[in-house]
Chains A and B, each alone.
Chain A
Amino acid sequence: MINYLYIFPEIIITSALCFIIVLDLFLPSRLKYISYYLIQFSLIFCAYYIYSHFSYLNTNVSQLYDTSIFSNTFKIFILLSLAIIFYYTAVFLRYFNIYQTEYFLITMFGLLGMMIMISSQNLILLYLGIELLSLSLYSVIAFNKNSLFSSEAAVKYYILGAISSGFLLFGISLIYGLTGSLSFNEIFIHISSLEVLNNMDNVQIIGLLFALIFILISLSFKFGAAPFHMWIPDVYHGSVITTTLLLSTIPKIAVFVILIKLLASVFSGLLLFWTDMTIVLSVLSILIGNIIAISQTNIKRMLAYSTIANIGFILLGLSVGSIIGYKAAMFYTLTYVITTIAAFGLLSQLVYEKKPIENINDLSGLNSSSPFTAFLLMIILLSYIGIPPFIGFHAKLLIIQSLVETNNISLGIFAVLMTVIGSFYYLRVIKVIYFDESKNDLSTTSKLHLTGIYIMGLVLLGLLPDILGQLSQYSISNLFNT
């Protein structure tokens, strides 16, 4: 049983959803903005509720649902990011006249799924959360009914997602068969009671590893790590740019939380084995992401491959297998999400020949038509590369530092080399913006004041990296104390 005060944030979101669905039907189209503001208000209010009840929620000892400081930090982060994403989405959809409140509502279901994933302490809840998230993503991708690409992307993602859910369920059933429980805590106790090199337990460990591999495959599919990355470029390319913004940011946080909970605490007894698996995943992701991104001409596809490379860096932090690595990975995840929101958000506000921006060449000569936009885009790209004053530098530095400190020097060198290769395709965009011939068909959907403030915040975070550093320090150490 569970005390319902602990799931109050989820209840807030669910009731707001149900209320707004019904309300929106009765609003005439010129008053639709009311439901948009109500959605934004419920997101902010939910984040505020979690923040103000931080210590109370932390007293939860439920075996089913975890509302510790670690989970709640991520929940607040997700809620606030989603509020920013909704701002960009609303601007974009209104400009291109495909605005429908249902887009936001379906995304809110996905938010609920992510909150459940983050808090789950039981494999059943984890599965349900992942399903809720992916179902909402399938329908959001297919949202643009006029575009053939969009339907193709949705069908592709749907079929691959169903297969990966099957993998997850197979792994879960094996774990249930071997340990007799679905609760994270009991699985942890069972695994730590096994002696890893003992012959008697050998068969058990092979079975558990088998299950772990299946779960890891499924999660890295959702995460977008190579070699399970095939869907990412097509889906990012096919969907509307604000959907791409949604897809590439907050689901990654939820999957990261699950990965760190499963690998670093539940399966910590099998640390020897899963570190190797994550090293393979991360090396492949960084390699494939960075090298294939070079040949892309479509900016969404290019950023899709850059996502894969970034995911590789996060997994590299996890593969260290100690707290210093987890901290670096968390720092990297937060940085990646903040930077990606800025990147796709800014791109979603640019219009080329009355259509959303598609190719890198559409941006050529952006500097001469609007120097401010060009400057903002340059900051984001430099942060992606990891040029010192910006936040991306600190993230990459922490990952490489944690690798070197645990004597994985060859992996550290590999990461640095790949960053150099990766900087090529980001720099090419900067070259196109600043040095190519200007096309005067570029305009923006709205004034860029808010985007400008957001990106200045990004710069400030880069100058004061301790804010994110302290946050990851605080939440990761909380995860391992309890």
Chain B
Amino acid sequence: MNLEIIIFYIFSLLLLSSSIAVIMVNNPVKSAISLVLSFFSSAVLWLLLNAEFLSIILILVYVGAVMVLFLFVVMMLDINISRTEEGFVKYLPIGIIVFATIAGLLSYFFYNQFDNAGDSIITSIDLIGKDNTKNLGYLLYTEYLLAFEIAAIILLLGIISAITLTHKKSETNKYQNPGDQVNVSKNARLKIISDEDRAR
């Protein structure tokens, strides 16, 4: 057994156990930290696949930025832990059935497919030299440029809808509109009541 396989098994075990911990642990902070661990171990797996750029990006962006923000939010929230345990036993049978079906089918498929694993269909894409980062950039800006631009539009939509949904016109601000003040007419200030109206 060479080193690569040993590392693979260690980190995939770590990935599996930390992912299970994410959903099983009661304390949300611990759960978020397990998620960090699972990101880290999948980054190592990607490194084994020679995708060094993606694995470093995963650590920088997800572990470095997203998860830190996430942890901040989780620590600020006051989550009632006992309520998260409700219904676990109730939904367990359905969960086990779904899990068993998917896991059974997948393992059947991969077990049989393992014999053909040698002649894998995907050959590594090597367009302009060995550099992984350069290859990615080349593909993104040539073949998948359209997809790249659409991803940018998705981000724009994210910004606009987040602002629209959270922005409130402040009602506490008091300000005067000079235009309205100048344009005010007699009718807006004075109400003339005739004698007959008053009698009613």
Contacts and interface: CB of A to CB of B under 8 A. Distances in A.
Interface of A: 1-2, 7, 14, 21, 64-65, 100, 102, 105-106, 109, 112, 116, 122, 124-125, 128-129, 131-132, 135-136, 138-139, 142-143, 145, 176-180, 203, 206-207, 210
B122 A106 contact: no
Nearest to A206: B109
Given A128-B154, A203-B112, A7 B161 contact: no
Contact of A210 (B106, B144, B158): B106
Interface in B124-142: 142
Most B Cβ at <10 Å: residue of A7, A129, A139? A139
A180 B124 CA distance: 10
The 5 closest A-B pairs by CB, nearest first: A139-B161, A180-B121, A203-B112, A102-B164, A109-B157
Given A109-B156, A124-B144, A139-B161, 20 more contacts: A1-B142, A65-B146, A102-B161, A102-B164, A109-B157, A112-B153, A125-B146, A128-B147, A128-B150, A132-B154, A135-B157, A135-B158, A135-B161, A139-B157, A139-B164, A178-B121, A203-B109, A203-B113, A207-B113, A210-B105
B146 A139 contact: no
Contact of A145 (B156, B158, B165): B165
A64 B144 CA distance: 9
B143 interface: yes
Contacts of A125: 146-147, 150
Interface in B105-122: 105-106, 108-109, 112-113, 116, 121-122
Contact of B146 (A64, A132, A177, A179): A64
Contacts of A2: 145-146
B95 to A, nearest CB: 14
A105 B142 CA distance: 29
A204 to B, nearest CB: 8
Contacts of A143: 164-165
A7 B146 contact: yes
13 contacts: A1-B142, A1-B143, A109-B156, A109-B157, A109-B160, A116-B150, A125-B150, A128-B147, A132-B150, A135-B157, A143-B164, A143-B165, A203-B112
Given A102-B164, A135-B161, A124 B112 contact: no
From DSSP, what is the main secondary structure of chain A's interface residues?
helix
A100 B160 CA distance: 13
Contacts of B164: 100, 102, 106, 139, 143
A105 B143 CA distance: 29
Given A132-B150, A132-B157, A180-B122, A210 B143 contact: no
Contacts of B147: 64, 122, 124-125, 128
A360 B188 CA distance: 43
B151 interface: yes
Nearest to A125: B147
Contacts of A105: 160
Nearest to B163: A102
- Of A64, A100, A128, A180, which is in contact with the most chain B CB atoms at under 10 Å from its CB? A128
A210 B109 contact: yes
A210 B112 CA distance: 14
Interface of B: 105-106, 108-109, 112-113, 116, 121-122, 142-147, 150-151, 153-154, 156-158, 160-161, 164-165, 168
Nearest to B164: A102
B160 A102 contact: yes
Contacts of B154: 128, 131-132, 135
B171 to A, nearest CB: 13
Of A2, A142, A143, A207, most B-chain CB atoms within 10 Å: A207
A18 to B, nearest CB: 8
Nearest to B166: A145
A139 B106 contact: no
| Best-buried of B108, B113, B143, B146 by chain A (most CB within 10 Å) | B146
A217 B105 CA distance: 16
Point out which of B108, B156, B164 has the most chain A C-beta atoms below 10 A from its C-beta: B164
Contacts of B121: 177-180
A180 B108 CA distance: 21
Nearest to B151: A128
B157 to A, nearest CB: 4
Contacts of B105: 210
Contacts of A178: 121
Nearest to A154: B165
Contacts of A207: 109, 113
A207 B111 CA distance: 11
Nearest to B111: A203
B157 A21 contact: no
A180 B28 CA distance: 39
B88 to A, nearest CB: 18
A155 to B, nearest CB: 12
Contacts of B158: 135
A124 B168 CA distance: 36
Nearest to B158: A135
A254 B31 CA distance: 38
B150 A106 contact: no
A177 B165 CA distance: 39
A207 B109 CA distance: 6
Given A177-B122, A203-B109, A21 B116 contact: no
Given A65-B146, A112-B153, A136 B161 contact: yes
A109 B156 CA distance: 9
